[in-house]
Structure 1
Amino acid sequence: MNITQEKINDLSAVVKININPEDYQPRVEKAIKENAKKAKLPGFRPGMVPAAHIKKMYGKSILVDEINNLLQDTLNNYIDEQKLAVLGQPLPALDDNKEYNWDFADNFEFSYELGLAPEFSIDFSSADKLTQYVIKIDDETLASRIKNIRRSYGKMTNPDVSADDDVLYSDLVQLSADGSVFEDGITNTASVRLDQIKDEAIKASLIGLKKGDVVTFDIRKAFDNDAAKIAGLLKIEEDDAADLRGDFQLTVKNVNRLEESDLNQEFFDKLFGEGTVTTEEEFRTKITEELESMMVQDSDRKLQDDMYKLAIAKVDFALPDEFLKRWLKATNEKLSDEELEGGYNDFAQNLKWTLIENKIITDNTIEIKYEDVFELAKIRLDQQFRMYSPTPIPEDQLGQYTVQYLQNKDNANKIFEEVKALKVFDYIKNVITLDKQDILYTDFSALVTAAQ
């Protein structure tokens, strides 16, 4: 067997593998004998089929399989031995001029294109500066959070007339262009939350209603063309919701109102444990602290995004773009040329970041341990639970949930990649200069929206 590599340029190469009969015949003969032992054919006892019979009937297909296996093993071993940093996967180079008889005596030559990772250096320093925002909770955000918590612990009532933030339990019926009921149109009984209505005029038309009242409204306009929200309300597919046109008729079946819990000791004890909070001022302080603690993650996410952009801009290198595009097409048969061109830039940016991540981890001998993955998974689960209740889950129970969560391979891989990214961000954070700056949550949200 002979393997040669031809460097096309710094980012691509062609590997040629020449295989002679003595390279593959022992593997083929072994595979034929193994098939003979397992074969169940009419006229032969199990395990007694002659190898010559198997070779005559299935020899060529076995030969093709073993050649492919030999090529894969040989190519992978060559890449490992030569320490080639390969992007994507090797692509077979087709040669229409080569024809083989597949008669167990051929000499074969196969060529593979390789996309190679670029060589580059990383030179972050204290001269690189980024802003690290310290998010402070404004009165509006605090009031909204307190309202949601009080409603979570409040009681449901059924007032005669609807008001702002009520829920209308209603029949929804699709109408034709002339205002009549659309035959075979969409109908559903659903709870319409007034606090989710984006159009102020439509929202006003739904306030002051009582049981049995009927209102006509533009559902797309009401929810600001949010196809996911409309689909959930009408129980239809999101694509169908995006294509919806015309008005809907809403008939009120009931008005539901979630009354806010009183700010009393019973309420405080439910939230924080007996005697932990005893006054409204302490309650507001506690909620502010929890909100600002939660906002640290938003601030970190913004800083990480800024570090990502800094790294991509600072570490400038080329990729084997044409090879990668061919590889993406070869491994995604349904990928159209338009989709490829439209999404390739994002793919290339993410690949560049992965290369930067890997180099930082390798150059600085950064370790990723199971304990790191477990702790981050536990934090993420705790954050999810706190979205529904500020009362923390007991530590032992949270640990059990974390173990179960990480037993799912996709979950474990997701958290592993997040830990990897966080360790790289920590490295960059400790090298560059961070300018800490206080900012109100509303201003921070506007800043993030403007950057998108």
Structure 2
Amino acid sequence: MNISHENIDEINAVITVNLAPEDYNPQVDKAIKEQAKKAKLPGFRPGMVPVSHIRRTYGKAILLDEVNRLVSDQINQYISDNKLDILGQPLPKEDDQNDYNWDFNDTFSFSYEIGLAPKFEVPFTEKTKFTEYVIKADEATLESRIKNLRRSYGKMTNPEVSEGGDVLYAELKQVNAEGNEVEGGIANTASVRTDLVDDKKIKNSLIGLKKDDEVTIDVKRAFKDNADIARILGIKEEEVAGLEPSVFKLIVKNVNRLAEADLDQSFYDKLFGEGVVTTEEEFREKVRGEVESMLVQNANQKLQNDIYLKGLEAINVDFPEAFLKKWLKATNPEIKDDELEEGFADFLKNLKWTLIENRIITQNGLEVKYEEVLSLAKERIAAQIKMYTPGQEPTDQELAQYAVRLLGDKEQANRLFDEVKALKVFDYLKGLVKLETKEIEYDKFLELK
């Protein structure tokens, strides 16, 4: 057996595997004997099928399988032994079309294209500068959060006349261009949230309405989200695109308004526990602290993105693009050429950052441990439970059971592994580079690029 590789250039190479009969026949003979022991064929007792019969009947198929397996194993071993930093997987050369007899006496030669990762230096040192933002809650953000909290613990009222932000319980009837009801058209009774209406003119038309008042609205103009349209009309979301006409008569049945909770001790106790907060000033500072603690994640995301963009900008390398496109087509045969071209630039960006991450991990002995992936899975599950079933506190043992079940899904496990890897690299880089801390209000932070 002989295996070698030839560099076409710095990022493309060809691996060639040569096999003589003595290289593959021992494995083929072993496979044929194992098949004979397992075979159940008419006229033969189980496990007593002659080896010669298996060779004669299935020999070429077994030979093909074993040769392919041997070639694949040898190429993978060669890549590992020679520490070749490859991209994707080896692909058979398209012009490698040898005509073999497959009679157990052939000398085989197989050639495979490989793409090589470009050489580069990690572009981050202790002299690389970044800004780490400490986001403070501006007054508008603070007031918005306080308003939402008060509404969450408020009471529903039924005023006579509608105002902005009210919910109209109304009957909707599909009408034609003349304003007449469409025969057999859509009719439904539902709650219409005026705060979700996007069109200003339509939103204004829903203010000042009383019970039994009527107004005509175009639901496709009124709402951006098809899910909102589907809900108020009682139809499937996929039916919204073909909805014609999209004009409906809205007849008010009731006006609902959520009155905000009073800023009193009862409200403070419900939010923070009995006696923890006793004044409006303490309440505002408590909410400010909670808002700013949530904004830490926004600051981290900004820093991560700045590091990502800096890494992409600092490294100017070539990739084996022709090879990578062939590999993507081979592994995703359903992808169309225009789809491949459209997403290829983003693919190269992600590939470049993945190479940077892997280089940082390798050079610094970083390691992603199973316990870390399990811990992240438990965090994600606990957050979901808190979101959908407030007040329910699963035990650590229950979370562990849910997490192990989640990690049994290969796709989910890979996603969480990549998250832990990204966090580990981010933490390492935060400790390496020079960070300049800067306070900024949230509204100003949103203006940053």
Structure-2 separation of matches of 1:14 and 1:78: 12
SS in structure 2 at match of 1:221? helix
Question: Which residue number corresponds to residue 353 of structure 2?
Answer: 353
> 1:216·1:247 contact (CA, 8 Å) conserved in 2?
no
* CA-CA distance at 1:259 after TM superposition: 2.9
> 1:378·1:399 contact (CA, 8 Å) conserved in 2?
no
* CA-CA distance at 1:411 after TM superposition: 3.8
Question: Which residue number corresponds to residue 41 of structure 2?
Answer: 41
Q: Report the TM-score when normalising by structure 2.
A: 0.89
Question: Which residue number corresponds to residue 246 of structure 2?
Answer: 247
* CA-CA distance at 1:291 after TM superposition: 0.5
Q: 1:383 to 1:134 in 2, by over 3 A?
A: farther
Structure-2 separation of matches of 1:59 and 1:183: 71
SS in structure 2 at match of 1:407? helix
Q: Report the TM-score when normalising by structure 1.
A: 0.88
Structure-2 separation of matches of 1:101 and 1:61: 12
Q: Counterpart of 2:221 in structure 1: which amino acid?
A: K
1:432 aligns with 2:433: yes
SS in structure 2 at match of 1:163? coil
* CA-CA distance at 1:289 after TM superposition: 0.3
1:108 aligns with 2:108: yes
* CA-CA distance at 1:408 after TM superposition: 1.2
* CA-CA distance at 1:386 after TM superposition: 6.5
Which consecutive unaligned segments of at least 5 residues does structure 2 have? none
Question: Which residue number corresponds to residue 401 of structure 1?
Answer: 399
Question: Which residue number corresponds to residue 416 of structure 1?
Answer: 417
Structural RMSD (CA): 2.8
Which shifted more, 191-200 or 162-171? 162-171
Per-residue deviation, residues 277-313 of structure 1 (Å, max 9, x unmatched) = 1222211111110000000000110111011001111
Question: Which residue number corresponds to residue 57 of structure 1?
Answer: 57
Question: Which residue number corresponds to residue 220 of structure 1?
Answer: 220
* CA-CA distance at 1:126 after TM superposition: 4.5
Question: Which residue number corresponds to residue 81 of structure 1?
Answer: 81
The percent of aligned pairs where both chains have the same amino acid is 55
Per-residue deviation, residues 347-397 of structure 1 (Å, max 9, x unmatched) = 1010110110111111112233344434444555565566679x8875x63
Q: 1:253 to 1:399 in 2, by over 3 A?
A: farther
Per-residue deviation, residues 58-78 of structure 1 (Å, max 9, x unmatched) = 222222222221121111111
Q: Counterpart of 2:301 in structure 1: which amino acid?
A: R
Residues 13-412 of structure 1: matches in 2 within 5 Å?
Answer: 13-95=13-95, 97-177=97-177, 179-181=179-181, 189-223=189-223, 225-227=224-226, 229-230=228-229, 234=233, 241=240, 246-249=245-248, 250-380=250-380, 397=395, 400-401=398-399, 403-409=401-407, 410-412=411-413
Which consecutive unaligned segments of at least 5 residues does structure 1 have? none
Q: 1:388 to 1:98 in 2, by over 3 A?
A: closer
Structure-1 separation of matches of 2:287 and 2:381: 20
* CA-CA distance at 1:414 after TM superposition: 2.5
* CA-CA distance at 1:228 after TM superposition: 5.1
Q: 1:305 to 1:257 in 2, by over 3 A?
A: same
* CA-CA distance at 1:442 after TM superposition: 1.7
Structure-1 separation of matches of 2:338 and 2:206: 44
> 2:158·2:254 contact (CA, 8 Å) conserved in 1?
yes
Per-residue deviation, residues 307-358 of structure 1 (Å, max 9, x unmatched) = 1001111122221111111111111112111111111111101011011011
* CA-CA distance at 1:146 after TM superposition: 1.6
> 1:373·1:416 contact (CA, 8 Å) conserved in 2?
yes
Structure-2 separation of matches of 1:307 and 1:357: 11
